[in-house]
Structure 1
Amino acid sequence: MYEKVEQFEEIVRKRFGLQQHLLYDYGIFKKDGRLPLEQTHVLSLEFFPPGEFERIEDSNPDGTAVIDIDVYSGEVLSMLYVSGVRTGTPILLPNEDEVKRWVLEAQPTKDMLPLQVQKSECNLYMLQTYVDGIPLSPGGLIEVKVNERQELTSYAKFGSFPPSAMVQKEDYQLKLDEHMKHQAAEQVSLVQIPSVKNKEWVAAYVFDEVYVHNDGQNTSDYLMDVRTSVPVHKKMMWDEPLEEEFKEGVLFKSEILKKGWPAEKPHPLKIVFTENELKRVEEATREFLRRAYPYDSGKWELGRVHMDKEYVIAHLHRANDNRLIKRKLAVYIDCVTYKAINYMDSQLFLSMYNDLKPSKEAKINGVHAFEQLWDCATLEPWYVYNPKSNTYEICGKLDCEYGIRADNGERVTVNDLFL
Structure 2
Amino acid sequence: MDTRIKELIDLTEKKFGLENYYLHSHDIFRRGDFFNNTIYTLCMEWFPNHETVEKDGSNPDGTAVIEIDIHSHKFTSAIFVKGKTYAHNGVAFANSTKNEIIKWIEQETDLVYEKQFKLRKEEERELHFMECIDGVAVSPSGYIELRYNEEGKLTYFSNHGQYPSKEMVIEEDYSLTFEKVKHLAKEQVKLLEYPSHEEKRLFPIFAVEEIYIRNDQTYTIPFEFFADVNSYKKIEQPIHWDEPLKQTFDRKELNLTEEVTVEQAYASEPSPDSFPITNEEQEKCIEAVRDLLRQKYPNETGKWILKTLHREKGYIHAALRANKQDKRVFQRKLMVMIDAEHLHAVNYMDNLFMLEMFNEFQEPEKIMIEKEEAFDKLKDLFMLKPYHVYDFDKKQYVLCGKVDCDYGVNAATGEVIALNDL
Q: Which amino acid aligns with 1:336?
A: E
Tell me the TM-score normalised to structure 2 length. 0.89
Q: Whole-Å Cα distance in 2 between the matches of residues 147 and 5 of structure 1? A: 30
Q: Which amino acid aligns with 1:317?
A: R
Match of 2:256 in 1: 253
Match of 2:370 in 1: 365
2:246 to 243, 247, 250: 243
Deviations 1:382-416 (A, max 9, x none): 11112344332211111222222332332223333
1:106 aligned counterpart, secondary structure = helix
Cα RMSD of the aligned pairs, angstroms, is: 2.7
Percent same amino acid among aligned pairs? 32
Q: How far is 1:258 from its partner?
A: 6.2
Match of 1:71 in 2: 70
Does the Cα contact within 8 Å between 2:66 and 2:79 map onto a contact in 1?
Answer: yes
Match of 1:318 in 2: 322
Q: Whole-Å Cα distance in 1 between the matches of residues 197 and 123 of structure 2? A: 27
Q: Are 1:303 and 2:307 an aligned pair?
A: yes
Q: Whole-Å Cα distance in 2 between the matches of residues 272 and 32 of structure 1? A: 11
Q: How far is 1:87 from its partner?
A: 1.4
Does the Cα contact within 8 Å between 1:301 and 1:319 map onto a contact in 2?
Answer: yes
Deviations 1:288-330 (A, max 9, x none): 1222333433443323222224222111233311321013221
More displaced stretch, 407-416 vs 75-84: 407-416
1:14 aligned counterpart, secondary structure = helix
Does the Cα contact within 8 Å between 2:28 and 2:262 map onto a contact in 1?
Answer: no
Q: Are 1:286 and 2:294 an aligned pair?
A: no
Match of 2:341 in 1: 336
Match of 2:151 in 1: 149
2:49 aligned counterpart, secondary structure = coil
Match of 1:11 in 2: 11
Equivalent residues, number: 415
Q: How does 1:145-184 map to 2 (within 5 A)?
A: 145-177=147-179, 179-184=180-185
Q: 1:234 to 1:362 in 2, by over 3 A?
A: farther
Q: Are 1:211 and 2:212 an aligned pair?
A: yes
Q: Whole-Å Cα distance in 2 between the matches of residues 401 and 231 of structure 1? A: 29
Deviations 1:8-53 (A, max 9, x none): 11110111112342211111122245x6443312211111111335
Q: Whole-Å Cα distance in 2 between the matches of residues 109 and 129 of structure 1? A: 10
Tell me the TM-score normalised to structure 1 length. 0.89
Match of 2:104 in 1: 102
Q: Are 1:56 and 2:55 an aligned pair?
A: yes
Q: Which amino acid aligns with 2:217?
A: G
Q: Which runs of 5+ in 1 are unaligned?
A: none
Deviations 1:128-158 (A, max 9, x none): 2223432111232111111122210111112
Match of 2:268 in 1: 264
Q: Which amino acid aligns with 1:91?
A: V
Q: Whole-Å Cα distance in 2 between the matches of residues 268 and 167 of structure 1? A: 26
Does the Cα contact within 8 Å between 1:193 and 1:201 map onto a contact in 2?
Answer: yes
Q: 1:216 to 1:258 in 2, by over 3 A?
A: closer
Q: 1:403 to 1:140 in 2, by over 3 A?
A: same
Does the Cα contact within 8 Å between 1:139 and 1:161 map onto a contact in 2?
Answer: no
2:198 aligned counterpart, secondary structure = coil
Deviations 1:326-374 (A, max 9, x none): 1322111122321112222223433442321222232322233233332
Q: How far is 1:219 from its partner?
A: 0.9
Q: How does 1:96-135 map to 2 (within 5 A)?
A: 96-107=98-109, 113-135=115-137
Q: Whole-Å Cα distance in 2 between the matches of residues 188 and 272 of structure 1? A: 35
2:379 to 365, 374, 390: 374
Match of 2:84 in 1: 85
Q: 1:202 to 1:232 in 2, by over 3 A?
A: farther
Deviations 1:249-281 (A, max 9, x none): 222224316686533242595696454433222
Does the Cα contact within 8 Å between 2:315 and 2:340 map onto a contact in 1?
Answer: yes
Match of 1:137 in 2: 139
Match of 2:37 in 1: 38
Q: 1:362 to 1:246 in 2, by over 3 A?
A: same
Q: Whole-Å Cα distance in 1 between the matches of residues 288 and 363 of structure 2? A: 35
Q: Which runs of 5+ in 2 are unaligned?
A: none
Q: Whole-Å Cα distance in 1 between the matches of residues 100 and 113 of structure 2? A: 20
Match of 1:198 in 2: 199
Q: Whole-Å Cα distance in 1 between the matches of residues 78 and 227 of structure 2? A: 25
Does the Cα contact within 8 Å between 1:113 and 1:161 map onto a contact in 2?
Answer: no
Q: How far is 1:4 from its partner?
A: 2.9
Q: 1:413 to 1:37 in 2, by over 3 A?
A: farther
Q: Which amino acid aligns with 2:368?
A: K
Q: Which amino acid aligns with 1:3?
A: T
1:373 aligned counterpart, secondary structure = helix
Match of 2:234 in 1: 231
Q: Whole-Å Cα distance in 2 between the matches of residues 270 and 39 of structure 1? A: 7
